Amino acid sequence: MRIIVLGGDGYCGWPTALHLSDRGHEILIVDDFSRRRIDYELGTESLTPIEILHTRIKTWQNLSGRRIQLAVGSVNDYEFMADVMRGFAPESIVHYAELRSAPYSMIDRQHAIQTQLHNIEGTLNLLYAMKEFAGDCHLIKLGTMGEYGQPNIDIEEGFIEVHHNGRSDILPYPMQPGSFYHLSKVHDSQNIMFACKIWGLRATDLHQGVVYGTITDQIVLDDRLLNRFDYDDVYGTALNRFCVQAAIGHPLTVYGKGGQTRGFIDIRDTVSCIELAAIHPPRPGQYLVMNQFTEHFSVMELAQKVTEAAAKLGRVVEIEKVPNPRVETEDHYYNPKNTKLLDLGLQPRYLSQSLFDSLLNIAVKYRDRLKPEVIAPKVNWRNVTNPERGHQFFIGAKPER
């Protein structure tokens, strides 16, 4: 299959491009390197040393004999996307080219607008480019489990049957996202569903949980293929942060009561899910939603798992409850469904194993590269500006009033 991976230099995009290439698909990566630029803005970098994309691609070509093509540009640039679609004629497009951090979107007004403009405009551009140049192509869009929020009923896969005043209908599941980032994904979902309806496009919206892990079958082949590992307060997920904290003897930063529960998935399962989605396209006009996670844990359970795993490696780790910088329910019901990808053949991996072969081992190996100053949370949902993370540095004198 001819597959475009939008955002193919990122944490999920790079291993996906490698996996699909290894499976014999023809791959074009599209990336504008915005994720690497945000590290410069935030004064942080991946814990793991990552090569520039050109070196990654060349290394893979030399190892596997398989070519990955590259187009450098933004999904938000319509003329560029039009050229890409005309030139490559994709059968599937995997869309990861979005800003993906909830704390980033909550820094201040500019970051909220940047996140929503980038994500919503990019996806709309893509939908128009598909309609104009590749109407039969299958869009595989990365959504998030966070679109659903924390409802007090079971979470279905995209749609729910509602009975009201003697009538019933199958309707999109009600969404209660918890950040301006998560909201951008909800808006995307609505736009995609609408485009399928009016233009007959086909799309799979994968509502993915928190992804963890560093290695895949391809990445282990050469250090120059290594994936990124974020642990800072803005892009690092709780699990990555706990592993890094355990590696340096820092108390694990559980926000609030720690009952906040999320779905989780190993990056090795993510890449399998994408391939399963690609080889099972919906029919024209169909908008398909699948929940992409394999297990769910509360933040406190995660901290306990990391503590126990660290103890097996001879490290004593403490858990510290810190005031929650987010506005979220800290103790709630959580029962999301995830049968669709399992029915397509997904063979899940489990965190109990991945902690040792793809998380804690990596955190310990690269702990000397860690910047301790990016560990403490600095973005509070209640503040309309968070100066410690906003655009605080000016060239020359700082303007004063």
Residues of this chain that interact with ligand USQ (CB under 6 A) are 100-102, 144-146, 209-210, 237-238, 241, 253-255, 260, 262-263, 299, 326, 328
Active site residue 185: yes
State the nearest-atom distance from the C-beta of 331 to ligand USQ, in Å: 11
| Per-position b or e across 162-187, b if 16+ CB within 10 A of its CB | eeeeeeeeeeebebebbbbbbbbbbb
CA 120/CA 112 separation, integer angstroms: 12
Q: Which residue has the tokens 């979470």?
A: 155
Q: How far is CA 229 from the centre of its chain?
A: 12
Q: Can you list the alpha helix ranges (DSSP code H) found in 252-350?
A: 267-279, 299-312, 339-343
Query: What sign for the dihedral angle of Cα 167, 168, 169, 171?
Result: positive
CA 214/CA 124 separation, integer angstroms: 31
User: Please, which residue, 21 or 46, has the CB nearer to ligand USQ?
Assistant: 46
Residues 44, 123, 144, 253: which is the catalytic one?
A: 144
User: Please, which residue, 46 or 253, has the CB nearer to ligand USQ?
Assistant: 253
149: region left, alpha or beta (phi > 0 left; psi from -120 to 50 alpha)? left
CA 234/CA 76 separation, integer angstroms: 23
Phi and psi dihedrals of 356, rounded to 5? -90, -30
Q: Are 60 and 36 in contact (CB under 8 A)?
A: no
Active site residue 378: no
State the nearest-atom distance from the C-beta of 306 to ligand USQ, in Å: 11
Q: Which residue has the tokens 């699909």?
A: 20
Q: Which residue has the tokens 């299959």?
A: 1
Q: Which residue number has the CB closest to ligand USQ? A: 146
Residues 123, 141, 185, 212: which is the catalytic one?
A: 185
User: Please, which residue, 83 or 328, has the CB nearer to ligand USQ?
Assistant: 328
Which one, of 202, 249, 245, lies nearest residue 92 by Cα?
202
* Helix, strand, coil percent content, the chain, rounded in steps of 5: 40, 20, 40
State the nearest-atom distance from the C-beta of 224 to ligand USQ, in Å: 26
Residues 181, 231, 235, 366: which is the catalytic one?
A: 181
CA 55/CA 57 separation, integer angstroms: 5
State the nearest-atom distance from the C-beta of 218 to ligand USQ, in Å: 22
Active site residue 144: yes
Q: Residues with catalytic annotation?
A: 144, 181, 185
